[in-house]
Structure formats: C-alpha cells, structure tokens
C-alpha cells in the first residue's frame, strides 16, 4: 500500500518539493541580507526600518503570496487524490485488489495529510524565519495578512483546504466541480472567520485619542478598528459634518480646533501583542476541527456509497 | 465440498425509482466459464458490480466464493473484477501495474503474470497511455488473474477490441480457466465468441433473469418448429414457446421443449445459441412495447 501511494504521489511530492526548495533558497538569501542590513542601521534612532522595507519589496511580495499556498494544496492534493481516481475509474481497480476500501482510504488520507503538513509546515517555517527582521522592526505579525502566513495558522488552513478538496471530490466525483467548491469554499470560510470571528476571540481593548492627534499603535498589537465619537460619546457614522457651533470658523485650522473643543475623539480597538499565541492556537484549532469534520464526511461517503 | 462460486437469491438493485435488476436467482457451477448476456441496460453491469462488492444490493442475498461481498480482505482476495472501462493508471507502465498487484494481493503470482504478458507481446516498460486497447485489456486481465481469484468477473472486456485482440484475450482467459481453480462470469454482446469459449449462460433482459443453464443443455432443449399456417395453442400447452414468427403461409415457433408430445405436422429442427438468445431478448422487447 505504501509503495502504491508513493508511486501515485511521487510526481506531486517532487513538484511541491521543488517549489519549496526554490522558495527556501530565495528566503535564505534575502532573509540573511535583510538581517544584515538591519544590523547596519539599527543604531541610527528614528530611521529604524526606514528604507529597509522598500528594498525588499519583491521577496516580501513572494512571502505575502504564500497566503495562497493552502488553497493550492487543497486543489492539487485534496481534490486530486479522489477526483482523478474516480474520473479514471482507478478506484474500482484499487478496490478490487485484496486490500479493503477502509485501509486504502486510511492510508491514502494519512499520506496526503502528512505531505500537506510537511509542505505547509516547511513553507510556514521559512516565512516565519524570513519575517523575523520585519517582525522586530514593526511587529506586524498580528495584523491580518501576516497572522495568516506565519507560525501555526497556515498549516491549519492547509489541512482544512486539503480536507475540503477531498470531501468535495468524494461527494461530487469530478475534478472541475470539486476544484470550484474547494476554491470558493476555502475563501468563503477563511474570510468569514478572519473578518467576523477572529476579532471576537477575546474582548478588544480600547485606546482613546484626541481628534487630530496621531493614533498610536501599541507595539505588536492587532488594530481591529477605529471609530469617531462626538462630544456626547455617540458614534459618528459616515463623513463628519461640521457641527453648527463651528460653522463660523474662518479657516481649516480654527475649524479643527473648534471641533476638538466640543469633545470629539477617536477610539481605537485592538488586541494587545500578548494575545498573539492564544489567537494562533484558537485559529488553528478551529481550522483543524473543520478539517477533521470534512475528512469524516468525505470518508463516510467513500466507504458507504456504491462505486 | 466447497461452496458454489456464485449464488444469488431474489437479488435486486434499485437506482432512484428504477429497478436495474429484480428478483434475480441463479447459481454458477464450479470451474465454468459462464456467459452473461442481455441487451443494453439489462442489468449486467449492475449484477457484476454487486458480485464484486463494489455496490450493495437493494434486496436479496448473494454469495461469491462462499462469502457475502464485504469490505474484507478474504472476500476481496477470492474475487477478481475487470470493469468495462478497463481502468488502469494511464501514466504507469505495465511493470508498475505488476508491482501494484504484487503489493496489494497476498496470493499474487508474479511469474505467471509476467509470462502471460510476454506471451502476448506486451511491452512492460511502456506507459499504459501508449498501449493499444487490446494491450490494455491484456494488462488488465493479467492483473485480475495475477491475484489468483477463485471467481473472476469481467464486464464486457472485449467490446472495444478488434477480432485478433479479442481472440488473444479469450485465449488467455480459457487457458487460465483450464489451468487453475477458477470460475469466470463474462458479460458480452458478442454471442459467437461466447458460444465458442463459454460452457454456461446467464441471460438477463430488462432487469430480469430469463435463463441460467449449461449451454449444451440450452441448445438441446430448444427447437424451431415450422408448419403451414396453423394455431399454436396446443403447442403452447405442453411446451414453452419463446417466439412465434407468422406469415400467411407458414408459422415458425422457437420453443423450449417440455416433456409432452409434439402434434403431428410440425417440422422440428435444431437451433443455434445465437438464435435462442435473440428470441429471448426479442420477446421481452415486444412485451414491453405491447404493455406501453
């Protein structure tokens, strides 16, 4: 069985391994250069990081694109592992050898999930390692995109995507519809969790700022949102309309001062940096649980349905 | 005594509201090469897939090689199956498929399988997608025989093959049945081929079983009776009339002969298997038309 799976998946493993290797080389070279540059400028006070981010735009874009790795694995490993077999009827060939369907499925799922963890884990480790300079400069790793490509969450997303691809292919039995469901379903769930669920893993903290004062981002925090409050503490929706008391102001500056005096202020809500790891664990837990559910559903369909 | 290779009782399979196979009861004797015939949609594939354990019956019982089909290594080892599509891994070589068979089957006979493929000149190092249809069928058959099943189920394996490839395929099959403890159930539309290699026949039509017997017995039991135009009522009383062909001058009857006497005036002739099968298939068709 192990030989069969190796024979079936060796091309995929080779291609994915090659991509990972190329990525590793790029990360190693630019990551080290960037760390070196950072050492050179870190003692110059206010200029920290200034210019550094700009000269690493290309590798940075590549790193950010790794947000798409999970969905690629979902299509090329998850959906392909079932849909290709069913489309070519080779599942019938496999299920009429002397190995039970249950064992065939368990070994296949085990192998594919293992490859997923290896590739996604390798990718996440490289991205996390490469981002260490950026992390220490600006500490944006809690913000939306960086949170999604470093440490645990990308591996959990990948498991989810592969499980989704497998379940979709098991139910739909054809590659193209399964790919559609995998891509669409993955982005729908990811966006929903990121925009509507993740901010509520814990109650946000708030910081209040005067209307035209610069808002300060606590170091390493995830800024969830800001809102404008008027003098009574009510939220101002839409564009700020000039309060009646300040309409007489002659120029921009005096108008600003007038509004500030009325008690208008800006409140930002954020999650402090020390919540990074709990949030990573919750996020990963949710996606691993979803993956387990999808694997169970897909396996039940494969084992129960007539071939 | 070992169990019969194939027994079914009241076997039925429904897809949605349509019965693909209904009330099917038959046995296949040991060491036979049994033909499964029937028109398109008669339920042949449905029957074979249930026997192979790939799908579950809606009603009835079945046993293959003494076991109910189940997700169980002992059952799977005893039953070989070759699907209509001749599924193989397109990008693998024949050699890869031999390794596949060896890894997944405890009773795998590598030497005999290699020998079988060499005899029909299959290039083992070439990818399946580069082989002809006949060669693919030979690889798939070798794979199915290589696991040394007790019962081998073949779903129209020769349908797409040219006459020469067909002859080679059936040659490999008959040689295997002669050499080993093997029973084969083979579905096909090619009656001439079946008559040449098979010794037993199962006839399905529109989801129902019509015949299951030794081919020689079937041929011996059926006769064509001809006479100048006359009634067939008396004949139908004592014999099982399958098909009546009536012209203004003459009536011709194909019947399975019962034990009763034949009235005077009928001219009795032997009839070939092909005509018998066509008479059965035609009968259900005309009935269906009549009932619509």
Q: Are A131 and A63 in contact (CB under 8 A)?
A: yes
Question: Element (H or E) spanning A286, and its range?
Answer: helix A276-304
Tokens of A133: 């300079």
B61: pLDDT strictly greater than 80? yes
**Do A99 and B76 lie within an 8 Å CB cutoff?**
yes
Q: Are B151 and B80 in contact (CB under 8 A)?
A: yes
Interface predicted TM-score (ipTM): 0.89
The predicted model scores a pTM of: 0.90
CA A112 to chain centre: 21
Which residue from B minimizes the CA distance to A88?
B87
Which residue from A minimizes the CA distance to B72?
A100
* Nearest C-alpha neighbor of A80 from the set A179, A184, A2, A6: A179
The rounded distance, in Å, linking the Cα atoms of A50 and B131 is 63
B129 touches chain A (CB under 8 A): no
**Do A95 and B54 lie within an 8 Å CB cutoff?**
yes
- Counted residue by residue, chain A has a size of 307
B20 touches chain A (CB under 8 A): no
Which residue from B minimizes the CA distance to A105?
B71
Contact list in B for residue A92 (CB cut-off 8 A) is 54, 81, 83, 85, 87
Say whether A208 sits in a helix, a strand or coil.
strand
Which residue from A minimizes the CA distance to B101?
A97
**What are the tens digits of pLDDT across the range B175-228?**
999 888 899 999 998 888 898 899 999 999 888 888 899 999 999 999 999 998
- Categorise residue B21: left if φ over 0, alpha if ψ from -120 to 50, beta otherwise: beta
Which residue is associated with the tokens 């392909």?
A80
B147 touches chain A (CB under 8 A): yes
* Contact partners, residue A178, CB within 8 Å, separation at least 6: A79, A82, A83, A165, A168, A169, A172
Which residue is associated with the tokens 């949170």?
A147
The rounded distance, in Å, linking the Cα atoms of A78 and B44 is 34
**What are the tens digits of pLDDT across the range A244-297?**
778 777 777 787 788 888 888 889 999 999 999 999 999 999 999 999 999 999
* Nearest C-alpha neighbor of A302 from the set A102, A143, A159, A132: A102
DSSP label of A274: G
B232: pLDDT strictly greater than 90? no
Task: Grade residue A234 by pLDDT with cuts at 50, 70 and 90.
Answer: confident
The rounded distance, in Å, linking the Cα atoms of B113 and B254 is 44
Q: What is the mean pLDDT of residues A67-87?
A: 95
The rounded distance, in Å, linking the Cα atoms of B186 and B81 is 10
* A·B CB contacts under 8 A: 73
**What are the tens digits of pLDDT across the range B13-59?**
999 999 999 999 999 999 999 999 998 888 999 999 999 999 999 99
Contact list in B for residue A88 (CB cut-off 8 A) is 87, 89-90
């Amino acid at each position: 069985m192990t030989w069969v799976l190796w024979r079936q998946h060796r091309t995929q493993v080779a291609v994915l391994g090659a991509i990972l290797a190329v990525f590793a080389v790029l990360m190693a070279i630019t990551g080290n250069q960037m760390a070196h540059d950072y050492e050179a400028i870190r003692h110059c006070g206010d200029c920290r990081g200034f210019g550094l981010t700009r000269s690493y735009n290309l590798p940075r874009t590549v790193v950010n694109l790794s947000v798409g790795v999970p969905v690629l694995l979902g299509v090329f490993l998850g959906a392909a592992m079932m849909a290709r077999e069913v489309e070519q009827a080779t599942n019938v060939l496999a299920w009429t050898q002397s190995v039970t369907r249950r064992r065939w499925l368990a070994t296949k799922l085990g192998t594919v999930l293992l490859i997923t963890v290896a590739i996604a884990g390798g990718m996440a480790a490289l991205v996390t390692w490469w981002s260490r300079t950026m992390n220490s400069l600006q500490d944006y790793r809690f913000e939306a995109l960086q949170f999604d490509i470093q440490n645990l969450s990308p591996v959990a997303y990948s498991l989810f995507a592969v499980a989704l691809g497998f379940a979709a292919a098991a139910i739909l039995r054809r590659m193209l519809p399964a790919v559609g469901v995998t891509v669409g379903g993955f982005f729908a769930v990811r966006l929903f969790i990121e925009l509507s669920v993740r901010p509520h893993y814990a109650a946000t903290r708030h910081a209040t700022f005067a209307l035209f004062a610069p808002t300060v981002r606590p170091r390493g925090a995830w800024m969830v949102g800001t809102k404008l409050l008027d003098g009574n503490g009510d939220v101002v929706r839409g564009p700020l309309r000039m309060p009646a008391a300040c309409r007489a102001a002659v120029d921009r500056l005096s108008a600003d001062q007038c509004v500030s005096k009325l008690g208008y202020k800006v409140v930002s809500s954020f999650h402090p940096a020390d919540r990074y790891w709990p949030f990573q664990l919750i996020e990963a837990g949710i996606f691993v649980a979803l993956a387990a559910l999808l694997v169970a559903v897909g396996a039940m369909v494969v084992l129960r349905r007539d071939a | 005594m070992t169990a019969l290779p194939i027994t079914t009782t009241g076997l039925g399979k429904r897809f949605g509201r349509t019965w693909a196979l209904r009330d099917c009861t038959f046995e296949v004797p040991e060491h036979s090469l049994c033909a499964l015939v029937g028109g398109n949609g008669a339920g042949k594939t449905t029957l074979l897939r249930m026997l192979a354990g790939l799908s579950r019956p809606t009603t009835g019982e079945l046993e293959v090689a003494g076991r109910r089909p189940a997700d169980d290594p002992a059952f799977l080892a005893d039953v070989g199956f070759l699907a209509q599509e001749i599924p193989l891994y397109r990008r693998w070589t024949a050699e890869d498929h031999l390794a596949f068979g060896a890894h997944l089957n405890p009773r795998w006979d590598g030497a005999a399988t290699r020998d079988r493929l060499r005899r029909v000149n299959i290039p083992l190092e070439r990818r399946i997608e580069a082989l002809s249809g006949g060669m693919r069928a030979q690889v798939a058959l070798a794979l199915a025989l290589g696991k040394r099943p007790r019962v081998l189920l073949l779903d129209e394996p020769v349908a797409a093959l040219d006459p020469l490839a067909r002859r080679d395929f059936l040659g490999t099959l008959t040689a295997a049945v002669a050499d080993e403890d093997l029973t084969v159930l083979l579905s096909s539309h090619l009656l001439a081929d079946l008559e040449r290699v098979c010794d037993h026949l199962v006839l399905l039509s529109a989801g129902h079983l019509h015949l299951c017997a030794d081919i020689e017995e079937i041929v011996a039991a059926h006769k064509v009776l001809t006479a100048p135009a006359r009634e067939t009522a008396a004949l139908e009383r004592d014999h099982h009339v399958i098909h009546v062909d009536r012209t203004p001058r003459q009536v011709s009857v194909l019947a399975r002969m019962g034990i009763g006497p034949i009235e005077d005036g009928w001219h009795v002739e032997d009839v070939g298997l092909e005509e018998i099968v066509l008479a059965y298939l035609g009968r259900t068709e005309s009935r269906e038309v009549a009932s619509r």
